[in-house]
Structure 1
Amino acid sequence: MKTKNKFEYVPVVLQWVLNIALIVLALILVIFLGKETIYIFGFIKEGGDLNKLDLLEGILIYFLYFEFIALIIKYFEAKHHFPLRYFIYIGITAIIRLIIIDHESPVDTLIYAGAILVLVFTLFLANTRHLKRDN
């Protein structure tokens, strides 16, 4: 007879804790996505008391929330696996937001653009047949 190890249930319990934490995080992100939607439509409806740069920043934050929620959905669909592609999409969007917000230094902007180029190349590699694990 096989004896049961007293630690064999630890990964199962930790997986449940992770799943519950991700569900709570997804709910929080949905709330913030809703607030960002109200912010964006309030800006458009009222004629905007903010400048266009603030609107663009709000739209990019909206996409970041959307991408994080999509990442959590994909995690559960892929049986507890985070696809690398989604992290790269989030990174590209975050750097674009950073360029829009902080574009005072041309050297910094060039470095950010180079980082986007590296991420796009990484995305190309991640989507090759040999490295692609999810459908």
Structure 2
Amino acid sequence: MLKKKAKLISNFSDWVIMAFMLVLGLVIAGYFCLEIVALVEELFQHSSGLEFTDVSESILSLFLCIEFLVIIKDYFSNNAEINFEDYLYVAVTAIIRAILVYHDDALKILTLSGAILILIIAIILYKRYQNSQLSEPEEDK
């Protein structure tokens, strides 16, 4: 009886998480569309107050939206699992966005570049570890 209740609770929580992921994906897709509309409006307004940093910040925000949408798509296509590697890619994208948008402090840029290097090393090590796990044959029990 206890296992049945635990399974019921587990199934319900899986359903709730999937519903939240679906809502989150729709919200991010809506934000993505609004950001594209804002960029197109700025393009055709020809306003003199338009700065390149504002445009680049909007474009980089769009890239982050794409990253999150890809993660949500992968979540549903991989049986409700998110790969650790996806989180690392989002972190690298977010840090690159921070460097490109806020590049006024050299020490901050150096620190963020070091963080990117650490994340890239983590991605390489993770891929190497995954490949070694896939190449090892399973032993019979």
Structure 2 distance, partners of 1:121, 1:46, is: 43
Q: Structure 1 length normalisation: TM-score?
A: 0.87
The structure with the largest helix share of the pair is 2
One-letter amino acid matched to 2:86: Y
Q: CA deviation at 1:131?
A: 5.9
Which residue in the other structure is 1:109 paired with?
A: 109
Structure 2 distance, partners of 1:116, 1:57, is: 19
Q: Which moved further from structure 2: 48-57 or 69-78?
A: 48-57
Q: Is the 8 A contact 1:43 1:50 kept in 2?
A: yes
Structure 2, unpaired ranges of 5+: 135-141
Which residue in the other structure is 1:66 paired with?
A: 66
Alignment RMSD: 1.7
How many pairs align? 130
Structure 2 distance, partners of 1:131, 1:111, is: 33
Superposed, which structure 2 residues align to 1:15-54 within 5 Å?
A: 15-48=14-47, 49-54=49-54
One-letter amino acid matched to 2:100: I
Q: CA deviation at 1:122?
A: 1.4
Q: Residue 103 of structure 1: SS of its match in structure 2?
A: coil
Q: CA deviation at 1:39?
A: 1.5
Runs of 4+ in 1 over 4 A off after TM superposition: none
Structure 1 distance, partners of 2:83, 2:7, is: 27
